[in-house]
Amino acid sequence: MTGWVNPLRDKRDKRMPRIAGPCGIVIFGVTGDLSRKKLMPAIYDLANRGLLPASFSLVGFARRDWADEDFGQVVYEAVKKHARTPFRQEVWDRLAEGFRFVQGTFDDDAAFARLAETLEKLDAERGTGGNHAFYLSIPPKAFQQVCEQLQKSGLARPQEGRWSRVVIEKPFGHDLQSARELNAVVNSVFPEESVFRIDHYLGKETVQNILALRFANEFYEPIWNNNYVDSVQITMAEDIGLGGRAGYYDGVGAARDVIQNHLLQLLALTAMEEPASFGPHELQAEKIKVLSATQAVQPFDQTTARGQYAAGWQGSEKVVGLLEEEGFSKDSTTETYAAIMLDVDTRRWAGVPFFLRTGKRLGRRVTEIALIFKRAPHLPFDKTMTEELGQNALVIRVQPDEGITTRFGSKVPGTAMEVRDVNMDFSYGSAFAEDSPEAYERLILDVLFGEPSLFPVNREVELSWEILDPVLDYWATHGKPEAYEAGTWGPASADEMLHRVGREWRRP
Ligand code: BG6
């Protein structure tokens, strides 16, 4: 595989920053939100951190009638508004020299010929070395056309010693069948090792820290199993609504948008066995194994819940319900909250329910993975002394306020032996001086290195749909989402779902 280095044989000092070799990126869908808010700023931040080669070039492809300078202005505004690191004129000036814009539509052969010409010129003038990443920040229905155009114009299969990679954003299909079709289309043009599927959660520091926590330490491993863990709760709660996103979200819903990808990836990293190394094949093999052992628990009327936000208060702001949001059909049954219960049928996890939930317009923005431990088998205290003792928990705080919390019982100061829950916290903010890079910085850089570990492969995507499809099929034919007031923690049915099995959702 071009560019990829076997981590077992790689003797480099991994603490030294590695700079991408000569290359460029072409973004399709350059006028979209993702491009302005995430991709352009991440590219600047990488340049600012000195991680891009001097020859780096960025080519925008879109329908707009723009000159290179107009495109540059759009990138400039995006960087000024959304970049993580401070603006430095000299970094910007150097980066901007490599900006080009190609005007065209996806069905226009001549535009792709111009793109090929532009890239060839950049190779010659700036020394991009014939190495190009094609970032498809476009709706999946356009993937086929763009891939075929890249093939026709000779851009998908470069000469020996050069590379050509395609980066695709979710949604990877809307069920197993369509995901297979989509993969077939992409793989008919790009070999699997040149396909980089973005699940931006894998680019987050706190998500990679799951691996450090589990596999660099000794004291978690003995308790990381069904002998000690009672249940696992993975929560991704957002306070934002869906104004402006109807085009993508209506008919998709929370389960497809977030559970199929981000939350099942978090589950895989939490539940998988230790890989032989962090090489892509080893890591993917473990994720595939654990996803193959995972299934949604039946019957779904008892083990799943879904909701749709109604009007309510978000802090001091009055907000409308989904059906009043611009662009949503008035009888939309799209869920904005989804919760499911899963079994992971492995020796480590048999009998431990995994609860996954996500929602928009909830009480606050928080993503966390909580391992909730069994109660001590015996408490040598009077009942009244442990009334305020809950279950021990280990919480990986993915965002915001990134870190880890351990929750356990402690004696309340005083003459009585009263025991109450307390928290012990690790916070990235106070433990480390440097800020965490944005997920997209890490992932874009990995694409340029050809380092695939943090990108789900075809099989993972398909397995995730295999897990979710039965629930989606059930929902499609049984009722509709229950309304919940914006600013609350979701529909009552989600609470009932846990009460039925003697558990309660955490209130982060
Ligand atoms: C995206 C979803 O993948 O992740 C959005 O499509 C969601 O609906 C977003 O808002 C959340 O990302 P983050 O990084 O802000 O948690």
Q: Please state the domain extents for the chain.
A: 24-169, 202-435+455-500
| pLDDT in the model for residue 449 | 95
d(CA 374, CA 351): 12
| pLDDT in the model for residue 383 | 86
Q: Ligand 1 within 6 A of 205 CB?
A: no
d(CA 260, CA 383): 43
Q: Ligand 1 within 6 A of 169 CB?
A: no
- Point out which residues pair with 164 in neighbouring strands: 132
- CA angle (32 as vertex; 187, 436 as ends), nearest 5: 85
493: confidence class by pLDDT, cuts 50, 70, 90 = very high
Please tell me which residue, 1 or 502, carries the higher pLDDT value.
502
Q: Tens digit of pLDDT for each residue in 227-249?
A: 999 999 999 999 999 988 888 89
Q: Tens digit of pLDDT for each residue in 273-289?
A: 999 998 889 999 999 99
E strands along 17-162, which residues?
24-28, 57-62, 99-103, 132-136
Is 262 noted as a catalytic residue in this protein? yes
d(CA 114, CA 116): 5
| pLDDT in the model for residue 11 | 64
Question: Which residue type sits at 385?
Answer: M
| pLDDT in the model for residue 4 | 57
1: confidence class by pLDDT, cuts 50, 70, 90 = very low
First to last CA, the chain: 43
Mean pLDDT score of the chain: 94
| pLDDT in the model for residue 214 | 96
Q: Is the per-residue pLDDT at 3 higher than 60? A: no
Q: Is the per-residue pLDDT at 145 higher than 70? A: yes
| pLDDT in the model for residue 308 | 98
The yes or no reply on domain 202-435+455-500 and CATH 3.30.360.10 is yes
Both structure tokens of 269: 């990293």
7: confidence class by pLDDT, cuts 50, 70, 90 = low
Q: Tens digit of pLDDT for each residue in 45-72?
A: 999 999 999 999 999 999 999 999 999 9
Closest listed residue to residue 321, CA positions, set 311, 334, 329? 311
Q: How remote is the CA of residue 295 from the centroid of ligand 1, in Å?
A: 24
| pLDDT in the model for residue 10 | 63
The CATH class of the 24-169 domain is alpha beta
Q: Is the per-residue pLDDT at 115 higher than 70? A: yes
d(CA 128, CA 90): 20
Q: Which of 132, 174, 262, 478 is the catalytic position?
A: 262
What is the pTM (predicted TM-score) of this model? Answer: 0.95
Flag whether 257 is marked binding: yes
Mapped to the 3 state alphabet, what secondary structure does 326-383 carry?
Answer: CCCCCCCCCCCEEEEEEEECCCCCCCCCEEEEEECCECCCEEEEEEEECCCCCCCCCH
Flag whether 200 is marked binding: yes
Both structure tokens of 54: 């001097």
Average pLDDT value for residue range 126-147? 93
Q: Is the per-residue pLDDT at 501 higher than 60? A: yes
Q: How remote is the CA of residue 203 from the centroid of ligand 1, in Å?
A: 13
